[in-house]
Structure 1
Amino acid sequence: MPKNNNGRTVTDQSSMNAYIKSVCDIMRRDRTKGALEYIPELTWMMFLRILDEKEQEEELKCQAVGKSFTPSLKEPYRWRDWGNPHGKKRVELQNGKMGDFLDFVIMFSDRIEISSPGSFIGGVTPHNILTHPPVRRNPLLAEILQYIGAVNRGGLGVDRMYRRLLSYGKLPPEYPELAGAVQVIIRNGAFDEAIAKFVGRKAREGHGWRLEELIVLHHLRRNDKISTSEASEILQRTQRETSELLSSMEGIFIERIGTGRGTYYQLTNEILSSIGEKEKYTRIKGLSEEQKLQLLKNYLENNGKITNEEARNICGVNRNQSLRLIRKLVHKGFLRKIGKGRGAYYEKC
């Protein structure tokens, strides 16, 4: 086979024999099939590829002598159209408006919904899809297609979707829990130019963005702060893993506020300034004591009671600072203490 863009190059009988043996070794791993079943499948795939290459040669010869050429298979059924990773039909199926002709892709004005019959396999769920090792529905077929050059590296879909969307400040993909189907929803959110520029600038400066960093950045773009427990949920990591990840992000684009259980993280002043939200930093961190007391009063108006931990999270302070604020409200007759020890809380008078 001549060298082309369809995948591996087979130049002589020896390399052809090695090629066929390697694919047969892969197919033999499927205990549900014998040679009588997989050899016809392999033969058909190789026939389509060889036919396409031979007809490309014949077409060139005919063009050289001014003759017309009629192929056995026409576009888009040739190997070069759908088997080649850069084939026109392949690219069209991957990047085009598939909802126009594929019923499992539905296009809405604000989102795309892609569904596949069946359920998650191999222990994958919507709650661990970010961290679970990739699982293929048909490992045998996936390995063969990758070996013959019909697909690029596998197991990158989820990570790639998240990275691409978050890098432009868009909403991450959603995986709702459905009975009898796997579905992914991609929202048509607005392009966030400020975030895209920031992510791009840091990348040009040599920062290799981890997916976890992009997820935290996305959350803090839409929220004032994030706690370790909140980050643990959206990163699908344990509390310990999340704490280590957040610590590694400090100084890059987030800063720690508070200590102990009241600790939370927010974007640094430098980052907020670079994306045009400098006033947000002042709103989060620059609260006076009276403003913090007012925040607690507002919370109590809606909830009727408050714990020390809740006060710490609301005001972004440590345990001693929150106790001082609570005692001021008690002294002013706004609160009274109920209970003792860890079970104690403060009730609105």
Structure 2
Amino acid sequence: MMKATSEIISLLNELDNNRIADDLEGQDIDFKEWIQRSFDDNIKLMIKMAVCMANGGGGSVIFGVADKKNGRNNAIKGVPANLDLYAISKRIYEKTDPHLTPHFDYIDVPYGTGKLLIMHVFPGMPPYTTTDGAATIRQGKDCIPFTGTLRRQMVSTTSEQDFTAEVIYEDWKKLFSPSAMEKIREILVEQRAPELLQQMNDEDLLVSVGALKNDYLTKGALLLVGKTDAITRLIPQYSWGYRKMVSDTDYIIKEDGNQAIPIALYELERYIASDNPLVTIQSGLIHPEFHTYPVLALREALLNAFGHRDYRMLGSVMLKQYRDKLIITNPGEFIGGITPQNILHHPSVTRNSHLMDLLDKLKFVNRSNLGVPRIYRSLLIEGKEPPVYREVGNHIELTFIASPLNDGFKNFVNAMTNRGFHLDTDHLLILQYLLRHGEIDTATAAEAIQRNQEQAREVLSKLSIEMKLIEAIGRGRGRYYTLSKEASAQLKGDMAYERQATLDDEAIKIRILSILKDRPLRNKEIRTMTGLDQKQVQRLMKSLYDEGVRVVGRGPGANYVLDKE
């Protein structure tokens, strides 16, 4: 953890108590004397220390202090007053891999040249090396060679660290933002938090939720109630941004900020609201309103981005709003076995447990593994397309498609609820898929609902037998499902109901040709798949002669094959 200036000054005062700078060094702090003979030698030392500290979890290096001399007057030599800190940062950035961007501060002192230089190195995603491949890692007071064994040990323990749980040893009242706290209190009222929580003063509230520990804020708490300048100084890798896009590369609105998460959430929701069309549907005396992007889904998605982002990395929680979609990205990769293909039902895993705990206690989120399912359900229940998650490099990307409200589907869900049937996310995903594609088999259903095939069969069975919303066509490996006549009539309105078992000729041909590319088919198998009789299958397959279909053998054992030449 980076040392505050006040802590460093207190340590330097110890030099007058018969101690030397070497005695004051530790895992996250080191003292170095400025090398007078060569500016480049200082740059090389800074690069080496930046790599060492970054691999060791971050820390502060103070330049201008001799580490073997007693007394401040003897030990504090200082650094030149005219250093080009931008040029120094640029050199370190260029000579490290992955690139490191330390933060520099001066300390004014009444000794030596009158100035010390602090290099704050933030924890990132190690391993880091110099561009020539050299690497060390901080262990205690020393920078030791970063060997393969140490790298494996580091990887195994990295996931156990929680950046947001680290304590900031500064006066919390000087870091505190009343504006951020005001937004938190608005959320508490909006979410109907207990009166006792709402009525607490700021300090008691922060203590009660674990944000204030022994009169010190945690980094997670700073992200929620910190002043912008304090966040920028102590967590400089944090930021957020908004772009109103007119193409993949051009935008007409650009906004970036470092304000606390509650303020960032308010600002981002305000930008979205300016272009989030509202539709009102009539339902008796009540006229409910629906946005293109459901407000609940957006809030859950934004808070997930802030709550789960990797705070060891530089980068922004970025929201890009296009004409036909909205994309939210955040720094960090999926962890704990979560992938875009299993995120809907995977048990919740977070790298920022403390921050997520604070968000939960302050009623911003619900930690009962409901965030992602809520996003899905709030979209699907309005007949909209499900969200799309992707891992792009070392960022997570979530896309909302600007789907119109399907009031017929919304009313259908309400009608099913009134009949005593609860349509959960799995049911909604399958119904939405059938509305768009007409048919679904077990393997496709399993992929759509992010379940295994046995679980998918159970969901399909319930929709078919208990709810009677879908019906099975065919048997065995060729079985697939379509909307039932009743469900089709309700969901498609005046659209004619056509049983997929008597698929139109073109659809049947496409299905059979697709299977023939992989294996031969018998007349009996095709009858099972399509519901046609023996003579109908013969006529159908004869019509596919021009497509390369041939008969091999005679009688019941004859096979239809595809001549791929």
Q: Tell me which residue corresponds to 2:210.
A: 23
Pairing partner for 1:146 from 338, 356, 360:
360
SS in 2 for 1:282: coil
The reply on whether 1:167 has 2:381 as its aligned counterpart is yes
| 8 Å Cα contact 1:312-1:322 kept in structure 2 | no
Pairing 1:165-244 to 2, within 5 Å after superposition: 165-244=379-458
Counterparts of 1:238 and 1:332 in 2: how far apart (Å)? 38
**By percentage of residues, which structure has more strand?**
2
Counterparts of 2:215 and 2:553 in 1: how far apart (Å)? 78
Q: Tell me which residue corresponds to 2:334.
A: 120
In structure 2, what residue type is equivalent to 1:97?
I
- The CA deviation string for residues 172-224 of structure 1, in whole angstroms up to 9 with x for no partner, is 11112311110000010222222122112212333211100000000000112
The reply on whether 1:266 has 2:479 as its aligned counterpart is no
In structure 2, what residue type is equivalent to 1:307?
P
| 8 Å Cα contact 1:272-1:278 kept in structure 2 | no
Q: Tell me which residue corresponds to 1:281.
A: 497
In structure 2, what residue type is equivalent to 1:346?
V
Return the TM-score normalized by structure 2: 0.43
| 8 Å Cα contact 2:383-2:410 kept in structure 1 | yes
Q: Tell me which residue corresponds to 2:272.
A: 97
Cα offset for 1:266? 0.8
Question: Over alpha carbons, which structure has the higher Rg?
Answer: 2
Pairing partner for 2:552 from 324, 337, 342:
337
In structure 1, what residue type is equivalent to 2:551?
R
Q: Tell me which residue corresponds to 2:253.
A: none
SS in 1 for 2:444: helix
Counterparts of 2:513 and 2:197 in 1: how far apart (Å)? 75
| 8 Å Cα contact 1:225-1:265 kept in structure 2 | yes
Cα offset for 1:261? 0.8
Q: Which moved more, 1:307-316 or 1:218-227?
A: 307-316
Q: Tell me which residue corresponds to 2:521.
A: 308
SS in 2 for 1:183: strand
Cα offset for 1:137? 3.0
Unmatched runs of 5 consecutive residues or more in structure 1: 29-34, 49-78, 84-88
| 8 Å Cα contact 1:232-1:238 kept in structure 2 | yes
Counterparts of 2:544 and 2:326 in 1: how far apart (Å)? 55
Counterparts of 1:98 and 1:338 in 2: how far apart (Å)? 67
| 8 Å Cα contact 2:520-2:559 kept in structure 1 | yes
Pairing 1:23-172 to 2, within 5 Å after superposition: 23=210, 82=262, 93-94=268-269, 96-97=271-272, 104-147=318-361, 149-154=362-367, 155-172=369-386
- The CA deviation string for residues 113-136 of structure 1, in whole angstroms up to 9 with x for no partner, is 100011112211101111211222
CA, structure 1 residues 303+95, in 2 after alignment: closer, same or farther (shift >3 Å)? farther
The reply on whether 1:257 has 2:432 as its aligned counterpart is no
Cα offset for 1:326? 4.7
Cα offset for 1:41? 7.9
Pairing partner for 1:248 from 453, 459, 462:
462
In structure 2, what residue type is equivalent to 1:208?
H
In structure 1, what residue type is equivalent to 2:379?
L
| 8 Å Cα contact 2:519-2:561 kept in structure 1 | yes
Count of residue pairs brought into register by the alignment: 295
Q: Which moved more, 1:294-303 or 1:249-258?
A: 294-303
- The CA deviation string for residues 217-271 of structure 1, in whole angstroms up to 9 with x for no partner, is 0000011210001101111111111111111111421111111111111111011
Q: Once superposed, what is the RMSD of the aligned Cα atoms?
A: 4.9
In structure 2, what residue type is equivalent to 1:188?
A
In structure 1, what residue type is equivalent to 2:346?
H
The reply on whether 1:346 has 2:346 as its aligned counterpart is no
In structure 2, what residue type is equivalent to 1:308?
L
Q: Which moved more, 1:296-305 or 1:276-285?
A: 296-305
CA, structure 1 residues 317+116, in 2 after alignment: closer, same or farther (shift >3 Å)? same
Counterparts of 1:43 and 1:347 in 2: how far apart (Å)? 66
CA, structure 1 residues 301+99, in 2 after alignment: closer, same or farther (shift >3 Å)? same
Pairing 1:313-324 to 2, within 5 Å after superposition: 316-317=529-530
| 8 Å Cα contact 1:257-1:266 kept in structure 2 | yes
Cα offset for 1:47? 11
Counterparts of 2:220 and 2:495 in 1: how far apart (Å)? 64
| 8 Å Cα contact 1:259-1:317 kept in structure 2 | no
Which structure has the higher relative contact order (CA within 8 Å, separation 6+)?
1
| 8 Å Cα contact 1:262-1:309 kept in structure 2 | no
SS in 2 for 1:182: strand
SS in 1 for 2:374: helix
Cα offset for 1:160? 1.2
Counterparts of 1:19 and 1:298 in 2: how far apart (Å)? 61
CA, structure 1 residues 307+95, in 2 after alignment: closer, same or farther (shift >3 Å)? farther
| 8 Å Cα contact 2:329-2:395 kept in structure 1 | yes
In structure 1, what residue type is equivalent to 2:401?
R
CA, structure 1 residues 136+279, in 2 after alignment: closer, same or farther (shift >3 Å)? same
